[in-house]
Chains A and B, each alone.
Chain A
């Protein structure tokens, strides 16, 4: 029986008069890669915000590893192993690339291995080793996204929420990143991924959830979702 590591229960969120999330119910299976797709403005990033503690839902609960974490501050959730990236990449611009990674060296309860070595390993993986002492503000868009990717992996997270992680990265590196994600998955990491590129999502994910009109319209295996006529209609066949 698959166990659910993250349980989103009837989450509702509105801003001003606008109801963005009207009752999201989603179970995220442990050790699987789940994709979240949906039209722009459907509330996907908001959902991530709520899961990671940056916003509080008006109604509903977030259960992580059996504990109710709905009210936790973001940094406490991070320490529990819930790590996310942002749609607009966030790195520490005035610190060097190396320092950016070291900041995240040991605040998780899940620390494995030596931080220096881990950082070097990750930097090599994202091809940023040469820029180790460069100020992060000098990085290109693609490079900062990669840096952020490396940062979140420093943590040894239990669940990774990635918000459009592949946007702006060259395809060769995307493949490598996907492979790395699968490798981490085989080591027990759970991944939730927001992406717009339907074929990519179908290739990578074990299941896909479709967010539309503030609810989960569908949640199932990739080939089912991808071939569904409504999804096709909404996405016009993907990109």
Chain B
């Protein structure tokens, strides 16, 4: 019994890691809080849902379309809405992503109604046994998928040319500018990647979770917790933090209280913000 709680905690954690890593990337590179991250997750879920409904294909097969679409959307959002306000005071950037999240979330509510939808994949509710534990196939796909993507992100950031550019910009955008890097383009790509990761997360999760307009809210906020816990710009940290939070939440939900399971995460969040804001994994920085 505990094992299955652990497994579903890992699934949740995988989703959190993906969404959180994407958010972390955006936060680390562009230095803005993307309030719309959760809304984007919901958007990806609906995107996939509509493709499944219209084309009749399996949800997992929508992955390339959703990823490409979300990446494009992210690129567009950054270039049309965020790059213009980068020179302004920070309020504008904060509130614009907040406005985007309101628009996407409530737009979905207005357009598609509050009804819960769901999709079924070819794996259905099949399970298999692994080391004596019964695991759902879709759960296994989710966990595996999340791990692969995080790994790929890590490789990309550290080994590829664009990845290095991204890291350069996130550390010192002025010097990067001087080195000839098109900073605004890097921003757009970072946002695109952040959105694409959310797209992957949404495809992985819809065979398991319900789809409804406000689904992103919880994930969006928890993504912040992942970022804060894992440490700014720290991809591995975000991954570990995401898994930790997912497992913790699930354990708490099953063994203590379902209602309070999210509250406990917020509490962890607040405590981290208050006492160790640089995250668990970054060495304590001297602050001025």
Contacts and interface: CB of A to CB of B under 8 A. Distances in A.
A61 interface: no
Interface stretch (A18-26, A49-57, A185-193, A217-225): A49-57
A49 B288 CA distance: 9
A56 B284 CA distance: 13
Contacts of B286: 55-56
A61 B155 CA distance: 44
A55 B286 CA distance: 7
Interface in A89-128: none
Contacts of B288: 49, 54-55, 74
Interface residues on A, range: under 10
A187 to B, nearest CB: 31
Contacts of A54: 288
A55 B285 CA distance: 11
A56 B286 CA distance: 7
Interface in B263-288: 286, 288
Nearest to A15: B286
Contacts of A56: 286
A52 to B, nearest CB: 10
Contacts of A55: 286, 288
A129 B66 CA distance: 61
B244 to A, nearest CB: 26
B131 to A, nearest CB: 42
Interface in A47-74: 49, 54-56, 74
B210 to A, nearest CB: 46
Nearest to B288: A54
A203 B286 CA distance: 38
Nearest to A49: B288
Nearest to A54: B288
Interface in B230-288: 286, 288
Nearest to A73: B288
A74 B288 CA distance: 9
Nearest to A58: B286
Interface string A65-88: 000000000100000000000000
A178 to B, nearest CB: 30
A73 to B, nearest CB: 10
Interface in A202-222: none
B268 to A, nearest CB: 28
Nearest to B89: A94
A142 B286 CA distance: 32
A54 B288 CA distance: 5
A96 B286 CA distance: 33
Nearest to B283: A16
A9 B286 CA distance: 20
A237 B288 CA distance: 36
Interface string B196-240: 000000000000000000000000000000000000000000000
B174 to A, nearest CB: 11
B44 to A, nearest CB: 37
A56 B288 CA distance: 8
Contacts of A74: 288
A111 to B, nearest CB: 27
Nearest to A52: B288
Nearest to A16: B283
A106 B54 CA distance: 70
6 contacts: A49-B288, A54-B288, A55-B286, A55-B288, A56-B286, A74-B288
Interface of B: 286, 288
Interface of A: 49, 54-56, 74
Which 3 pairs show the lowest CB-CB distances between chains A and B? A54-B288, A55-B288, A56-B286
